[in-house]
Amino acid sequence: MSRKISLILILITFCFVILVIAYASYRFQNQANMPSGWEKYTQINAFTLYHPADFAIQTGDTAGGGYLRLPLVKMSFPAGAFKDEAKTNLSEVFLVISQDNSSNSGSICETFSDFPNISGSIIQTQTINGTVFKEMSVIDAAAGNFYDSRIYRTVYDGICYEAALVVHTGNIDNYPPGTVQEFDKEPAFAGLKQVFGTLNFDKGAACTTEAKLCADGSSVGRIPPKCDFSPCPTETSGINGNVLLGPMCPVSQDPPDPQCYDRPYATDLLIFKSDDLQKVVQEFRSDSDGKFRIQVPEGEYVIQSSASPDLLPRCYSEVIRVEANKYSDITVNCDTGIR
């Protein structure tokens, strides 16, 4: 009898341990119980999301790459995050959260009706931290690039929200034979999914209300996404830029043809310290007028395309000198390769 009771106790203990491990796994994947060093992003009155500290963060109009019309935040893996990626056709790995508050946003969320070729696509459901998302996968192709996206949508407080998990690669056929390998996307999607798994919708999400006193006597409060203090009026420096695409014609003409003038260009760009071209300082995007404005500390920088340097158009700048408390005006030229 005592042996039977001992076996029962061992079985109960074993089952309890399994349940604890399963619950811990669930908490790690679905709640804000992240690895050490992750940081919190707050979208006021909407949601919170955690991410590794070395992720590049873009917000607002610079957070391109999603499919809904109002981008909120883009989180990108840093260059060199994946093993041997320099020997592959990888361009970038990122997550974009965007929203649509139009009158038909509910239909867009439920049926992905904004995709013209949705017929035959598989729409599934998945629950993240109590929120049910519709899920669909698409692959877009443009100018020698592939954008493999896993898209999650849900309606919260009457607004359609989308999380797009994107792996951007170059067309392997555009590289010299034998120079690169096809990038293995699954580890990248696994990393993006881990970040996405920390998403929590919360109308009460907000920064605390402390104020910091500035040297000029004014005060500033905390601002999203990280709830850091807003810079004091005399503490900001950065770059105002204009991106131009050209040449547009193979030969110059006299008189000049307006159709051949360099054109404003919306594109993804990277900024580096001029003495360290291996470490990305920030990733950003120019708008439809080719304009951008980014904040960086004083120093010397260069700007390049975020896509592979083997692909056209190829964007670059001269060395940019940023002085303390000032913004430098520069032009980034994007070479089409037309000669």
For 71-117, the pLDDT digits (tens) are 999 999 998 888 888 889 999 999 999 998 887 788 888 888 887 66
**Share of residues in the chain with pLDDT > 70 (%):** 83
Domain membership flag for residue 216: no
Number of domains in the chain: 2
**113 and 62: one domain?**
yes
**65 and 124: one domain?**
yes
Domain boundary among the residues 151, 184, 201 is at 201
Q: How far apart are CA 53 and CA 40, in angstroms?
A: 9
Give the domain CATH number at 149: 2.60.120.1690
**122 and 242: one domain?**
no
Residue 226: what pLDDT? Answer: 61
Q: How far apart are CA 47 and CA 226, in angstroms?
A: 12
**47 and 188: one domain?**
yes
Domain that holds residue 129: 39-201
**131 and 49: one domain?**
yes
**106 and 186: one domain?**
yes
Instruction: List all residues 6 or more positions away from 152 whose beta carbon is below 8 Å from its beta carbon.
Output: 126, 128, 133, 134, 135, 162, 163, 164, 165, 196
Domain membership flag for residue 79: yes
Mind listing the pLDDT tens digit for each residue in 257-266?
A: 777 888 999 9
**196 and 249: one domain?**
no
What is the arithmetic mean of pLDDT over 206-210?
A: 73
**132 and 258: one domain?**
no
Instruction: List all residues 6 or more positions away from 293 whose beta carbon is below 8 Å from its beta carbon.
Output: 238, 239, 240, 241, 327
**78 and 138: one domain?**
yes
Residue 26: what pLDDT? Answer: 36
Q: How far apart are CA 306 and CA 309, in angstroms?
A: 8
Residue 95: what pLDDT? Answer: 96
DSSP 54-121: T-EEEEGGG--S-SSSEEEEEEEPPTT-STTGGGB-EEEEEEEEEEE-STTHHHHHHH-TT-TT-TT-
Mind listing the pLDDT tens digit for each residue in 307-324?
A: 877 788 889 899 999 988
Domain membership flag for residue 245: yes
Mind listing the pLDDT tens digit for each residue in 279-301?
A: 888 989 998 889 999 988 889 99
Whether 58 has a pLDDT exceeding 80, the answer reads yes
Give the domain CATH number at 269: 2.60.40.10
Q: Which of 273, 245, 248 is nearest to 339 (CA)?
A: 248
